[in-house]
Structure 1
Amino acid sequence: MKAAKIYGKRDIRVEEVAIPELSKGMVVVKVEFAGICGSDLHEYSEGPFSIRTHSVMGHEFSGIVTEIGEGVTTVKAGDRVAVEPIIACGQCINCKKGYVNLCKARQGYGYTESGGFAQYAVVKQENVFKLPDEMSLELGALVEPTAVAVHAVRESQLKLGDTAAIYGAGPIGLLLLQSVKAAGASMIFVVEVSEERRQKALELGATFVLNPLECNIKTFIHSKTNGGVNVAFDVAGVQETFLNGVTTVQSGGEYKIVSLWENPVTFQPNAIVTAEISVSGSYAYRNLFPEVIRLLACGIIDGNAIITSVIPLDRIVEEGFEVLMKDHNQCKILVEMDI
């Protein structure tokens, strides 16, 4: 089969590789669509993560079951599925507490096991989730990033009627926007430098979209909320958004960090202490795929709205990674294996 393998910084190659071996409890999935994630782009630009032990990338993917191994009872050949990439050990202290996303011995498809930038993937039956007939396989590839957004909202302090700010309107930011709207936020501010992404945020339900290069974010948000939002979500992951974002949260509110950061942040903690603001993190998701599939299938979250391109696997570098490096108006690029 063909698969995209990472060898180093800006070195991804589509090559012929063997299909992983099918064993007990495993399922062969003919991959149809796989999304290029921000973390994939980071590896392309900066080099492989230290956790990577397998070179075939891709952790946001969907496909069709073609074969099942001994003991598989949850799916059958022909089923259309989304794949959850996290493989938890089930035995560590975090797993026993239910925090499988924080597993101490966490593995993952696309990192430690062959991933979804390939024509076939072999995964555990526990990691495949059937899609309803009315849901496309393109949307199936968006279940994973949507789960990241939904988990962040579920873990936040956000309540029905609260106000929210979202810093960054890339794929996760736009999915977060729809998630906080679905959760009942009464006013949503989206802070983003890209005009196209700001426009998309408006279309998806943002109350206000703000360009931080053109207005004073703190002054504007405070004037509209009488002192700041209840919850702000950071999906940009740079010092400027952190420094500005904390100042737009009302006393007793929450600053929820969803992004992974390339560089450390220097800040004055007094802004947090004197307003009793909670700063918290949100990592991946846990036990959410069925709920997220329903949200996407019924259109409560519009996944199609964030797809900007569909490209062939053979062009994953030129039309995928390189485009995302240069064109920040792009949002989610899907790789289709059969074109």
Structure 2
Amino acid sequence: MRAARYYDRGDIRVEEIAEPFVTPGTVGIDVAWCGICGSDLHEYTEGPIFIPPAGHPQPISGESAPITMGHEMSGVVYAVGEGVTDLAVGDHVVVEPYILHDDVDTGPASRDYHLSRDMNFIGLGGGGGGLGERIVVKRRWAHRVADSVPLDQAALIEPLSVGYHAAERSGVTAGETVLVTGAGPIGLLTSAIVKALGATVIISEPSPLRRQKALDSGVAQHVLDPRAVDVVAKVRELTGGAGADVGFECTSVQPALDTLVDALKPHGVLVVVSIWGHPGAFDMQKIVLKELDVRGTIAYVNSHPAVIALVEAGKIDLAPFITGKIGLDHLIDEGFDTLIHHNETAVKILVSPSGRGL
């Protein structure tokens, strides 16, 4: 089968590899679509980060580069291993792409398996990936999705789960006002979750194309250009002088972080969602004098079932966020290069590993 393999920074190759084996307790999936994630871009331009370098195997998977990439995937079950009785061939599924030690509790009540020792992600730390035609995963990580949800949209359930967990971390409730900095994929999807929960969403985004996507997708009531508007003053105006209840930092850009600190009301909550490849800074006096809560968030934890239910119920429309579809042969020139050098023109680019979806 064909797969996109990461060898080193700037070196991803599409090549033929052996198909994976379905073993007891696992599920074989024909990958329909796989999204290109910001973390994939970081690996390509700055890595290896999560990907274990050649000769340095990941402690759980035992794999090192070259690694098959891709962790935002949807597909169709083509085989189930012995002991798997609640999924069947033909079921539509998405993957919660974790690599964890076998003794980690991932039951419904667990709230911290995503923070466990040596944690990594399928498609980064090994275990195959969604940028290959087929993948085999443990039953625990395959989530059934109703056939009524198109498989291209289903591929966005993984990044949507990132937004869902960020919203959980924030404690946001209906009726509150939220400021989101950045209308990239995670900023937009986080906004979609928060708006579906009943909050008023304000987005700050300098790119006119991304601002338009925020408006067209309906994920925010107010979309601001920070180059033309005093965002802090506007937020205060919209909240009767109080300030935002919650802020989501989705850019890894210092001015956006500073804006959130200033725009939040006293006792406000600031959630850092983006992955920072460089140190950031806080004006600590402002944090202290406003008694702000600053919270980090990473990925998701038992989030997929609730997110799938929201999508199946029509509470969130994922179609507007898909801005491109390509095959493996154009992964770099039409995928990575676009998102690295012209990211204001795209939100989510999906890849069909087999080319059948194109």
Asked if Structure 1 and Structure 2 have the same fold, meaning a TM-score greater than 0.5 normalized by the shorter chain, the answer is yes
- 2:214 matched to 1:201? yes
Q: Is the 8 A contact 1:6 1:48 kept in 2?
A: no
What residue ranges of structure 2 are gaps of 5+ in the alignment? 53-63
Alignment of 1:203-242 (within 5 A): 203=216, 204-225=218-239, 226-242=241-257
> How far off its partner does 1:297 sit?
2.3
Match of 1:297 among 303, 308, 312: 312
> How far off its partner does 1:299 sit?
2.3
- 2:19 matched to 1:49? no
2: CA distance, partners of 1:59 / 1:314: 18
- 2:17 matched to 1:22? no
Report the counterpart of residue 55 of structure 2 in structure 1.
none
2: CA distance, partners of 1:121 / 1:146: 21
> How far off its partner does 1:179 sit?
0.9
Q: Secondary structure at the match of 2:174?
A: coil
> How far off its partner does 1:223 sit?
2.1
Q: Is the 8 A contact 2:104 2:113 kept in 1?
A: no
Q: Is the 8 A contact 2:164 2:307 kept in 1?
A: yes
Report the counterpart of residue 334 of structure 1 in structure 2.
350
Alignment of 1:81-120 (within 5 A): 81-89=93-101, 91=103, 98-112=111-125, 113-120=127-134
Alignment of 1:258-273 (within 5 A): 258-273=273-288
> How far off its partner does 1:40 sit?
0.6
Structure 1 residues 69 and 260, CA gap change in structure 2 (3 angstroms) = same
Q: Secondary structure at the match of 2:23?
A: coil
Q: Secondary structure at the match of 1:215?
A: coil
Alignment identity in percent? Answer: 39
Partner AA of 1:46 in structure 2: E
2: CA distance, partners of 1:220 / 1:196: 21
Report the counterpart of residue 169 of structure 1 in structure 2.
183
Report the counterpart of residue 337 of structure 2 in structure 1.
322
> How far off its partner does 1:267 sit?
2.8
Q: Is the 8 A contact 2:105 2:113 kept in 1?
A: no
Match of 2:75 among 55, 59, 63: 63
Q: Deviations over 1:209-258 (max 9, x none)?
A: 11122222112212221131000101111211111111110001100111
> How far off its partner does 1:93 sit?
8.7
Match of 2:164 among 147, 150, 153: 150
Partner AA of 2:250 in structure 1: V
What residue ranges of structure 1 are gaps of 5+ in the alignment? none
Structure 1 residues 27 and 233, CA gap change in structure 2 (3 angstroms) = same
State the Cα RMSD in Å.
1.7
Figure out how many residues of one structure are paired with residues of the other and give that number: 338
- 2:16 matched to 1:13? no
Report the counterpart of residue 36 of structure 2 in structure 1.
36
Report the counterpart of residue 75 of structure 1 in structure 2.
87
Structure 1 residues 93 and 70, CA gap change in structure 2 (3 angstroms) = closer
Q: Deviations over 1:112-163 (max 9, x none)?
A: 2211100000111111111112111112211100101111112213121110
Q: Is the 8 A contact 1:56 1:117 kept in 2?
A: yes
Q: Is the 8 A contact 1:94 1:102 kept in 2?
A: no
2: CA distance, partners of 1:101 / 1:230: 27
> How far off its partner does 1:107 sit?
3.5
Q: Secondary structure at the match of 1:193?
A: coil
> How far off its partner does 1:305 sit?
0.9
Q: Is the 8 A contact 1:36 1:320 kept in 2?
A: yes
> How far off its partner does 1:94 sit?
9.7
2: CA distance, partners of 1:295 / 1:65: 22
TM-score normalised by the chain length of structure 2: 0.90
